[in-house]
Amino acid sequence: MTSSPVGQTQRPAARALRARLLTAGTLGTALVLTIVYAGTAVLALVLGVFLALAAVEWGNLAGWGTPARRAAYVGLTVALAAGSWVLLTDPATRQWLLWPVLCGWGVAFAALLLAETGRPALPSGRWALAATGWVVLIPLWLCLLWLHQLNPTLLLALFALIWLADSAAYFVGRRWGQRKLAPKTSPGKTWAGVGGALIAALPVGLLIGALEGYGAATLAGFCMLCLLTVAASVVGDLFESLLKRRAGVKDSGTLLPGHGGVLDRVDSLTAAAPLFYLGMTLLVPRT
């Protein structure tokens, strides 16, 4: 008996889903254990490896084709990140970096809107794209570490928020998604998926707020921050999709089975982490 075409189609999809879940489970468990049991210095080294790998992928997407140029770009990215970590020790000083970064994500959102009209939305020069990579990747690395310093539970909350939102967007979009969110940038994303992601944010906000003992007003502010963080994660995801579309590739790399590259795994966090950290220092101040 021969297999039906439907069965032949379903088997690769099932294998891809298993690979995706296995990769996510393995990396997620390792990351959670590191966050809970290791200090910030160890976490900085672990996340620094992912920063370097993401910089390799960004360099490829930006057109830094030769190994020497990619190595120089990665080295400069890591050096700038380490220098920022050493210099930005005062929480008040960090806002001088984060407010411009959030403004930059506002520009990225405008670029996405422009791309949907069919007009060029990204700079064409390699150096401009390289600088964009620094604005995207370095604040992500810094904010994850600053959240860990502030409270490891909040860093876990951010990861849980993004992972659950991504999963909800995927499954809700597959089941009910009809109206495309950004058809020219990322045809697979739908408005229904965004709605599912936002709905998934509320239980996370309520649970973490209860664990942290927030009062009613603070809890409301924290839940609003969770919703804004998920909305920002959509922008980060779409912006990486725009960069990949410019480069003519489906994934940023092949390192992570079922996920593609490192950028494909952290794209939602690139815009979400700075907003979440800044929101925790402003909307939900801690003593």
- Taking the model in full, what pTM does it have? 0.89
The count of C-alpha atoms lying within 13 angstroms of the C-alpha of 75, restricted to the half-sphere facing its C-beta, is 6
Residue predicted with more confidence, 95 or 141: 141
Q: What is the pLDDT of residues 113-141, one digit of tens each?
A: 988 888 767 777 778 888 999 999 999 99
Categorise residue 66: left if φ over 0, alpha if ψ from -120 to 50, beta otherwise: beta
Of 8-17, 64-73, 142-151, which one has max mean pLDDT? 142-151
Q: What is the pLDDT of residues 1-21, one digit of tens each?
A: 444 454 454 566 556 556 566
Give the angle 80-83-89 at the CA atoms, nearest 5°.
Answer: 135
Q: Considering only CA atoms, which of 64, 81, 56 is closest in space to residue 134?
A: 81
